[in-house]
């Protein structure tokens, strides 16, 4: 099987974590801005989609061509074997990025590329929200074509159909847990769990449940897709997952509605039996008896302009909760250093963003 260049897109700041994830799958990885470059064959592309917990999208470089004019672009685009990647009559979304090129008019590039692909595959490819998604990157005379193999962003695992207030995206929750240094063998507690994303991601990681095992991917629509090989890969991943965890994961929230939401999300995620979910204020958050572990949480972030309730006491309570449990490490998310600073001894370890909002991960060791 031939190898293609692969681009794995992730939230900014998560490149090092995703690089580790890709290398752990036995593939080369080099961190880039908000992404990781790698290479591999079709099976590797499928495995990346299936296994990556902190990435958002896996793009495959279909081809590279030289073109400085629109006519050339159209004829060169038509020389690519699109029938491997786009099915006739499948809808096609094209995103054009042009830098330092005479092909700067993205509308014209879209039109020519679309026409060339349509002719090549013998079908008409109308613009659409579902179907194939292609990125055309033009840099000077070099044109590269990247097909999206993921479809919906990878953070959408399929279990989080309900959310409580201000949910943390699954890829960021996964990254926070990884960066906390949690060993997946000791207890974990989230005293402000909302829809349960952190406890659920933690349980799935410790069980070894592949993040993408329950969802569909864009590569399943590639004309060359072989369902049997993919089903075998997923079955092997399911086989590897542990049936249960020998240590506790606790989640709590003061909001009664959050408990129901987190419970139903956990059921869909297949880890409800691994979690103890309780309604409690942070000051009374239940901790398991026995060995210590990691306290991982995502407190409310507060308004962008400092409006709304003063959250400093809540962050102080979080610090106190950690103090009351010596031996427990602490990792949390905050938007503002001013709030994180209320947790004495915590240090910023990673800056990223969610939905355009700058956030950072903070930690305090034992």
Ligand X SMILES: C[S@@+](CC[C@H](N)C(=O)[O-])C[C@H]1O[C@@H](n2cnc3c(N)ncnc32)[C@H](O)[C@@H]1O
Asked whether position 171 contacts ligand X by CB under 6 A, the answer is no
Stretch that binds ligand X, among 91-99, 187-195, 213-221, 223-231 (CB under 6 A): 187-195
Residue 262 beta carbon to ligand X: minimum distance, rounded to whole angstroms? 8
CB 275 within 8 A of CB 249: yes
For ligand X, the binding residue among 131, 151, 167, 319 (CB under 6 A) is 167
Q: How far is the CB of 325 from ligand X (least distance, A)?
A: 16
The 132-139 sheet, strands edge to edge: 30-32, 35-40, 4-10, 55-66, 142-148, 132-139, 92-99
Residue among 192, 156, 170, 162 at smallest CA distance from 261? 162
- Told to check if 165 binds ligand X by CB under 6 A, we report yes
Report DSSP state, residue 57. E
The yes or no reply on residue 260 touching ligand X (CB under 6 A) is: no
Residue 255 lies near ligand X (rule: CB under 6 A): yes
Q: Residue 335 phi/psi, 5° resolution?
A: -90, -30
* Among positions 118, 194, 212, 302, the unique one binding ligand X when judged by CB under 6 A: 194
**What is d(CA 299, CA 288) in angstroms, rounded to the nearest whole number?**
20
286 touches ligand X by CB under 6 A = no
Beta strands in the chain (DSSP E): 4-10, 30-32, 35-40, 55-66, 92-99, 132-139, 142-148, 188-190, 249-253, 275-279, 294-297, 329-334, 347-354, 357-364
Measured distance CA(267)–CA(10) in Å, rounded: 27
> How many angstroms separate the Cα of 55 from the Cα of each of 120, 156, 157, 167?
32, 11, 12, 17
* Contact (Cβ atoms closer than 8 angstroms) between residue 117 and residue 86: yes
214 binds ligand X, rule: CB under 6 A: no
The closest residue (CB) to ligand X is 194
Instruction: Specify the stretch interacting with ligand X by CB under 6 A; choose among 8-16, 67-75, 189-197, 203-211.
Output: 189-197
Which residues in 305-334 contact ligand X (CB under 6 A)? 314
Name the residue nearer to ligand X (CB basis): 206 or 218: 206
Site for ligand X in 79-118 (CB under 6 A): none
Interface with ligand X: number of residues (CB under 6 A) = 22
In the bound complex, what is the minimum distance in angstroms from residue 113's beta carbon to ligand X? 39
268 DSSP β-pair partners: none
Piece in contact with ligand X (CB under 6 A), picked from 83-91, 95-103, 161-169, 335-343: 161-169
- In whole angstroms, what is the distance from residue 150 CA to residue 277 CA? 32
Decide if residue 161 touches ligand X (CB under 6 A).
Answer: no
Least distance to ligand X, CB of residue 263, Å: 13
Exactly one of 38, 150, 174, 195 binds ligand X (CB under 6 A); that residue is 195
Stretch of 50-58, 162-170, 233-241, 321-329 contacting ligand X, by CB under 6 A: 162-170
Q: Which is nearer to ligand X, 5 or 257 (CB)?
A: 257
Q: CA-based angle 20:150:53, to the nearest 5?
A: 30
Stretch that binds ligand X, among 102-110, 157-165, 235-243, 351-359 (CB under 6 A): 157-165
DSSP-derived pairing of the beta strands 329-334 and 35-40: unpaired
Minimum distance from CB of 194 to ligand X (Å)?
3
For residues 117 and 81, the answer to whether their CB atoms sit within 8 Å is no
* Binding span for ligand X by CB under 6 A among 43-51, 69-77, 176-184, 195-203: 195-203
Virtual torsion, Cα 19, 24, 26, 31, nearest 10 deg: 0
Strand 357-364 vs strand 347-354: parallel, antiparallel, or unpaired? antiparallel
Instruction: Name which of 202 and 245 has its Cβ closer to ligand X.
Output: 202
Nearer to ligand X, 80 or 266 (CB): 266
Binding residues for ligand X (CB under 6 A): 163-168, 192-195, 197-198, 253-255, 258, 281-282, 298-300, 314
């Amino acid at each position: 099987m031939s190898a293609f260049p692969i681009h794995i897109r992730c939230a900014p700041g998560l490149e090092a974590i995703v690089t580790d994830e890709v290398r752990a799958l036995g593939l080369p990885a080099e961190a880039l801005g908000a992404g990781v470059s790698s290479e591999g064959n079709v099976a590797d592309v499928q495995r990346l989609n299936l296994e990556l917990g902190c990435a958002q999208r896996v793009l495959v470089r279909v081809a590279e061509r030289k073109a400085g004019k629109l006519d050339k672009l159209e004829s060169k685009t038509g020389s690519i074997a699109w029938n491997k990647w786009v099915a006739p009559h499948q809808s096609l979304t094209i995103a054009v990025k042009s830098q330092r090129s005479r092909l700067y008019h993205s509308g014209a590039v879209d039109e020519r590329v679309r026409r060339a692909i349509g002719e090549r595959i013998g079908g008409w490819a109308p613009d659409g929200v579902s179907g194939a998604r292609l990125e055309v990157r033009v840099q000077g005379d070099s044109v590269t074509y990247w097909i999206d193999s993921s479809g919906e962003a990878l953070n959408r695992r399929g279990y989080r159909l309900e959310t409580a207030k201000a949910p943390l995206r699954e890829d960021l929750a996964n990254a926070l847990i990884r960066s906390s240094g949690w060993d997946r063998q000791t207890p974990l507690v989230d005293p402000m769990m909302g829809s349960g994303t952190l406890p659920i991601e933690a349980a799935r990681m410790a069980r070894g449940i592949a993040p993408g095992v329950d969802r569909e991917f864009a590569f399943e629509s590639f004309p060359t897709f072989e369902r049997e090989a993919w089903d075998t890969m997923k079955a092997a991943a399911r086989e590897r997952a542990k049936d249960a965890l020998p240590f506790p994961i606790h989640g709590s929230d003061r909001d009664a509605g959050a408990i129901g939401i987190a419970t139903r999300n956990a059921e869909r995620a297949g880890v409800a039996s691994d979690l103890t979910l309780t309604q409690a204020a942070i000051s009374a958050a239940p901790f398991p008896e026995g060995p210590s572990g990691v306290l991982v949480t995502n407190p409310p972030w507060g308004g962008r302009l400092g409006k709304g309730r003063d959250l400093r006491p809540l962050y102080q309570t979080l610090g106190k909760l950690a103090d009351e449990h010596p031996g427990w490490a602490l990792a949390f998310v905050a938007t503002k250093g001013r709030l994180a600073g209320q947790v004495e001894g915590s240090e910023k370890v990673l800056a990223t963003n969610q939905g355009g909002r700058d956030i950072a991960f903070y930690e305090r060791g034992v």
